Chain A
Amino acid sequence: MPINYYIFLSLALFCIGVAGVLTRRNAIIIFMCIELMLNAVNLLLVAFSKMHQHALAVTNPNAGIDGQIFVFFIMVVAAAEVSVGLAIIVMMYRNTHSIDVNFLNRLKH
């Protein structure tokens, strides 16, 4: 499959993520949209990695491995981020009885 399809798919996923972050007020949905963006990047990384592996397989059997290892790192980091993020959302709910991010502006008072 040409690489273009992967790029367009990632771009679509990423834009959905951005649009979601920008438009939604529910913290959990925003959170999910951020994950969507992360995964769009992951997809792109894997796709490019595969492409390079394919192109350079003759000279270098290890070509493109880096990108796939990166993806694992990102997934681990994302998992950690989720745990912290969800904890913040729980605390937020305890304080404001809502998970609407717009209520967070009361932090400035």
Chain B
Amino acid sequence: MVNLVWLVPVLPLAGFLINGLFRNSLSKGMTSVVGCGVLLASFILSLLIFGQVRQEGFEAVTVTLFDFISVDKLQIPFAFQVDQLSVLFLLIITGVGFLIHLYSTSYMHEEAAPHFARYFSYLNLFVFSMLLLVLGANFVILFIGWEGVGLCSYLLIGYWFKNVEYGNAAKKAFIMNRIGDLGFLIAIFWMINQFGSVTFTEVFGGAKGASVGVMTGITLLLFVGATGKSAQIPLYTWLPDAMAGPTPVSALIHAATMVTAGIYMIARSHVLYSLAPVTQTVVAVIGLATALFAATIALKQNDIKKVLAYSTVSQLGYMFLGLGVGGYTGAVFHVMTHAFFKALLFLGAGSVIHAMGGEQDIRKMGGLRKALPVTSLTFFIGCVAIAGIPPFSGFFSKDEILAAAYARSPVYYGIGLFTAMLTAFYMFRLFATTFSGKFRGTHEQEHHLHESPSAMTIPLIVLAILAAAAGFLGIPEALVPHAHVLEHFLSPVLGGASGDEGHGVAEISRGTELGLMGLSAGLALIVSLWAWGKFKSKPEVGEPAGFGKVLANKWYVDELYRAIITKPLNILGKFFVWLEKWVIDGAVNGTGRLIQYSARQLRLLQSGQVGGYVLLMVIGILALFLVELFVKK
């Protein structure tokens, strides 16, 4: 079964080709069947592979398809690696991906058939690239997938390309990702230079022999790549803008899968990170800063998708905190639970937007609970899960990260806990403003309100069940011994790192851990109830003032970037345009013009008068004669 792993990415690729090439002739029904069918088939295959991998004593398998690059001693095969980590991501990508494809068939139904097929072909291409990313057995294959998802993200953010703003958002995402990708690329070159290979096993095997400085350099560059893809400070500003894409795209790409690529990559190369304590600290600090920073911004956003976008940035920061303190399992666990509840929240938001006829401002919503019972219930479960209230999934994964952070430094824990409270606050602000109270939209919208069709609610329900229950895969050791199924499952891949050489998770006593857990759960519950009560009756409908305005304007980071990066670059660009036009072009055109001018003058000599020619000839001969006589010698 494992040898058939290549089919998992090939199926979405086939879906992409069919939907992309025949977009003008396929009906919407056929497109949906192809688009969802390939994903379902991939998911079933992944399940079968998972069944084999989860057996006791499974060894990681490398499936080599063909030689990709072969230069001198450097061999880069096109190979897939099947192990516990990649299978877990396979399941998340194909599973959540399938649900979102299904949801899209209904959400995008108003599009014309060719555009509908274009949407699904992009989505399938995205899944293909993402699968390539998590399956690759070396950094180059990973990088191909990495670039592929970036491209699909660009295409899908700019899906409604007639809107200039959406096109700009797409470009912003692409360019920001490129900055990160450059770091990643340099890291790969460095690896080739240092280890003569990019294959995971060989690089990790050789890593122990390298100096700390080299490891720090490589891991920092890899982390630069991760900050771009996973939207961390300073490259995070593209993610909120990426909400210009269709909502299911936000759910799949900008919440559940693509943005977790950075976490996957770091978890995959945890061996390198464990050897570079400086980088670990950098990762943890950047992650924590992003988590806090994005959470504060989310407090004052009024666009339902923007709140979720900043919440995603914040949660990604959490995952990086987990990676930075050595809690790799916790980070991957959080990737999984986050994929469930954030996809759920985004799809729920999509359902709300669908019902509101495209309205995204939560100030114009309110009281949607009656009209959208399924959406509001599943959204509630998502909110509870992300807020970290037990026994929903977010509690377990977040707490594992927090416990790991506490073991490294109580400061990390304190800020992390504060961020968790902010998360609970803004999520329940969002929930209360959207679903409780009185309806504040127009009369027409109120009349139009309706629950979404079953193609949209079924994914919501499935994801809600997952978001509620996935936490039980990782029950902390302190509560029930040996119940952390996920840690047990991932231990062949990540186990070596935890507690390894003092850079992994330090042990904390059971009592402390229980206390921390109780503290975070209690605080999350209190803050959630407080926010719910506060915004249920009196939602914020006016424009924010004072400090709230700074938050609502995202700390003016976009403006800052515009002033210190975009503007100088534009000026530099204008200067080069001038240089190009007047200096370089001037020299080239000037040469041409000079030759044309002299040719026009010389042409006058060709008068057609034989006598003139002969005279010139004689003059020429005379000149040669004189030269011979007087000049030479």
Which A residues fall within an 8 A CB radius of B? 18, 21-22, 25, 101-102, 104-108
- Contact B618 A102, beta carbon cutoff 8 Å: no
- Taking each of B609, B610, B615, B618, which has the highest tally of chain A beta carbons within 10 Å of its own beta carbon? B610
Interchain CA distance A108-B608 in the complex, whole Å: 6
Interchain CA distance A45-B611 in the complex, whole Å: 28
- Contact A105 B607, beta carbon cutoff 8 Å: yes
Taking the complex as formed, is B545 at the interface, i.e. its CB lies under 8 A from any CB of chain A? no
Residues of A within 8 Å of B611, CB to CB, are 22, 25, 101-102
Query: Which residues of B from 515 to 541 have beta carbons under 8 Å from A?
Result: none
Extra contacts besides A102-B609, A102-B610, A104-B610 (20): CB < 8 Å: A18-B618, A21-B614, A21-B618, A22-B611, A22-B614, A22-B615, A22-B618, A25-B611, A101-B610, A101-B611, A102-B611, A104-B608, A105-B607, A105-B608, A105-B609, A105-B610, A106-B608, A107-B608, A108-B606, A108-B608
Interchain CA distance A21-B621 in the complex, whole Å: 14
Query: Which residues of B from 592 to 614 have beta carbons under 8 Å from A?
Result: 606-611, 614
Name B607's closest neighbour in chain A (CB-CB).
A105
> Can you offer 9 A-B residue contacts whose CB atoms are under 8 A?
A21-B614, A21-B618, A22-B611, A22-B614, A25-B611, A101-B611, A105-B608, A105-B609, A106-B608
Interchain CA distance A75-B606 in the complex, whole Å: 32
Residues of B within 8 Å of A108, CB to CB, are 606, 608
Residues of A within 8 Å of B607, CB to CB, are 105
Name A103's closest neighbour in chain B (CB-CB).
B610
Name B622's closest neighbour in chain A (CB-CB).
A18
Interchain CA distance A108-B614 in the complex, whole Å: 17
Q: How far is the CB of B622 from chain A (nearest CB, A)?
A: 9
Interchain CA distance A104-B608 in the complex, whole Å: 7
Q: How far is the CB of B366 from chain A (nearest CB, A)?
A: 90
Residues of B within 8 Å of A102, CB to CB, are 609-611
Residues of A within 8 Å of B610, CB to CB, are 101-102, 104-105
Residues of B within 8 Å of A107, CB to CB, are 608
Q: How far is the CB of B346 from chain A (nearest CB, A)?
A: 80
Interchain CA distance A75-B611 in the complex, whole Å: 26
Interchain CA distance A105-B614 in the complex, whole Å: 13
In the A-B complex, the 5 residue pairs with the smallest Cβ-Cβ separation, listed nearest first, are A105-B608, A108-B608, A101-B610, A21-B614, A105-B609
Q: How far is the CB of B337 from chain A (nearest CB, A)?
A: 89
Q: How far is the CB of A20 from chain B (nearest CB, A)?
A: 10
Q: How far is the CB of A30 from chain B (nearest CB, A)?
A: 8
Q: How far is the CB of A54 from chain B (nearest CB, A)?
A: 27
Interchain CA distance A79-B609 in the complex, whole Å: 27
Q: How far is the CB of A17 from chain B (nearest CB, A)?
A: 11
Name B609's closest neighbour in chain A (CB-CB).
A105
Interchain CA distance A107-B609 in the complex, whole Å: 10
Name B614's closest neighbour in chain A (CB-CB).
A21
Q: How far is the CB of B47 from chain A (nearest CB, A)?
A: 87
Interchain CA distance A18-B617 in the complex, whole Å: 11
Interchain CA distance A106-B607 in the complex, whole Å: 10
Query: Which residues of B from 567 to 621 have beta carbons under 8 Å from A?
Result: 606-611, 614-615, 618
Interchain CA distance A107-B606 in the complex, whole Å: 12
Residues of A within 8 Å of B614, CB to CB, are 21-22
Residues of B within 8 Å of A22, CB to CB, are 611, 614-615, 618
Name B621's closest neighbour in chain A (CB-CB).
A18
Query: Which residues of B from 38 to 55 have beta carbons under 8 Å from A?
Result: none
Residues of B within 8 Å of A18, CB to CB, are 618
Residues of B within 8 Å of A104, CB to CB, are 608, 610
- Taking each of B609, B611, B618, which has the highest tally of chain A beta carbons within 10 Å of its own beta carbon? B611
Q: How far is the CB of B7 from chain A (nearest CB, A)?
A: 76
Interchain CA distance A25-B610 in the complex, whole Å: 9
Interchain CA distance A108-B612 in the complex, whole Å: 14
Residues of A within 8 Å of B606, CB to CB, are 108
Interchain CA distance A25-B612 in the complex, whole Å: 11
Name A23's closest neighbour in chain B (CB-CB).
B611
